[in-house]
Amino acid sequence: MQHMNIIQQIAIWALPLLFAITVHEVAHGYVAFKLGDPTAKRLGRLTLNPVKHIDPIGTIVVPLVLLVASGFQFAFGWAKPVPVTWTNLKSPRRDMALVAIAGPATNLVMAFGWGAIAKVAQLTGGPSHNFTLLLMLMGTAGILINLMLMILNLIPIPPLDGSRILSSLLPPKMALLLSRVEPYGLIILVVLIFSGLLRKVLVPSVFLVFGLIASFFGLR
């Protein structure tokens, strides 16, 4: 990908990134709906139409800056959170964890889906054909983006999904203490990003799982 210009590389990463963020949020809303909360459905958020989910900063600006700054090696972003009314859930503490884990789990499934696309492209034409080369590169980008979102969201810093999962496992008093960190969660993430600590944790984990998926599909 290093021989392509910025416009071409953005085109390769844009579709997987948009799908990864959008489907992640829809998964939260869909599981919440199945567990008794119709809030997301009532607000029209159970749709794959990305316009309903795009956050100008988290879906466009942050991923673009990170992609260009990292030489198209590292990116993540976020969409507008799907609203969940926890009191509507049948068993709020248990269901909170199920709703939270739905997003990262969906990203893992999509990572395998993009791996399958890359494998089909490899078998049908490989890098010698422009269209299959595009699919191979897009498939690789799709795996990386979804793994980045999955692992990032499993970090137990509010409001990331990992904090919701951890809260459901903690005693109520400790869960309350964790929830009080949420107003400062974005600041903590920004500090971790610009200090380089987040990348040091995220990138090795992403490439470990990426290697497993590549081996599963026999990707070169």
Model confidence over 39-74: pLDDT tens digits? 999 999 999 998 889 888 888 888 888 777 777 666
Low-confidence winner among 70-74, 94-98, 161-165, 186-190 (lowest mean pLDDT)? 70-74
Share of the chain above pLDDT 90, in %: 60
b/e map 101-138, b = 16+ CB within 10 Å: bbbbbbbbebbebbbebbbebbeeeeeeeeebbebbbb
Name the pTM for this structure. 0.89
Looking at residue 2, its pLDDT comes to: 46
- DSSP structure class, residue 24: H
pLDDT for residue 1 is more than 90: no
- pLDDT confidence of residue 22: 92
Residue recorded with tokens 């497993």: 212
Burial class (CB in 10 A: 0-12, 13-18, 19+), 139: buried
Residues labelled as active-site residues: 25
The chain-wide mean pLDDT, for the chain, equals 89
Query: What tens digit of pLDDT does each residue of 117-130 get?
Result: 999 999 987 677 88
Query: What are the tens digits of pLDDT across the range 80-111?
Result: 889 999 899 999 999 999 999 999 999 999 99
Tens of pLDDT, residues 16-36 = 988 999 999 999 999 999 999
Spell out where the chain has E strands.
none
